[in-house]
Amino acid sequence: MKKPSILVVGCMNTDYTVYGTPRVARFGETLFCEGYAYTPGGKGANQAVAAAKLGADCTMAGRLGDDANGLTLIKNLERYGVDTLDIVIDQELQTGMATILVDRQTGNYVCYLVMGANNHLFPGQVELAISRKSYDMVLMQLEMPLETVYSTYELATARGIPVFLDAGPAMDIPLERLRGIFVISPNEVETKALTGIDPCSSKNAISAAKRLFERVHPKYVLLKLGARGALLFDGETPELIPCFSEVSAIDTTAAGDTFGAAFAVQYCLGANMRSAIRYAHAAAGLCVSRRGAQASIPGAAEVDVFLTAIDNT
């Protein structure tokens, strides 16, 4: 079977991750934590690695600084088979950096992001990337200039390419230029930022999905609701698709990125929406069960083994 061809447009960072934080510190306070690591990250790079590991022919379009961190990120993407021809190395800028604090009890995280070169990923660079190949889907996030987000959607739409927007990090943005997008997929915090509704209950989640649909008129709204699963809404019928209780969260970093990439790969391979979401739940579940960003993302064989075991119980 031919590999799906996916273009990821977005952010690449070096992640400095601190593990075992007891809570978020107050100003002037010192807390003792358990460990740290420097790893490749960024929502865009995470999506690209996930797409490649899960079976896609993946291209990354983004911008890095001319520094050691940028070189490491390029080499890491190439190690996973990601096409890096559309990554620009900018001699005037720093590579992006994210400081991530992972909670000791829950595995949830907070992130402090320095955008660096990511803030200079402009539409002209995306136009060149999107014209270079034939793509089955474009994945993007909000970790880049807003005009680039809009232009990426418009450039893809002009070529008949569906776009999946992982609507993070959390922010309230004008959505008019994204009307008709294939999928818009925020998590709980991002959903509240976009709609003003906290999707903490089933009723609220449905209300938020309906409000987001009214604003964007996508083909699908897909709310990521953490341990509750994902809410799919097509403008008519909301459906909660549960995730797997068989996994225990250690570190939720890159889980949403893995979910979106896994969904995209499966959908492009011909899976229906619900099957693609179930597969994405499995991939994200395996991701949160271990530490790290890209290192925690499973390969296709791992996801298949996990789903087979679930189906046979």
Q: Which residues are annotated as catalytic?
A: 257
Q: In which region does residue 140 sit, left (phi positive, over 0), alpha (psi from -120 to 50) or beta (all else)?
A: beta
**CB half-sphere exposure, 200, CA atoms < 13 A:** 3
- Indicate the DSSP class of residue 165: E
Euclidean distance between CA atoms 42 and 12, whole angstroms = 4
Euclidean distance between CA atoms 65 and 117, whole angstroms = 6
Tokens of 248: 């225990």
70-98 burial string, b = 16+ CB within 10 Å, else e?
bebbbebbeebebbbebbbbbeebbbbbb
Distance, C-alpha 153 to centroid of its chain: 16
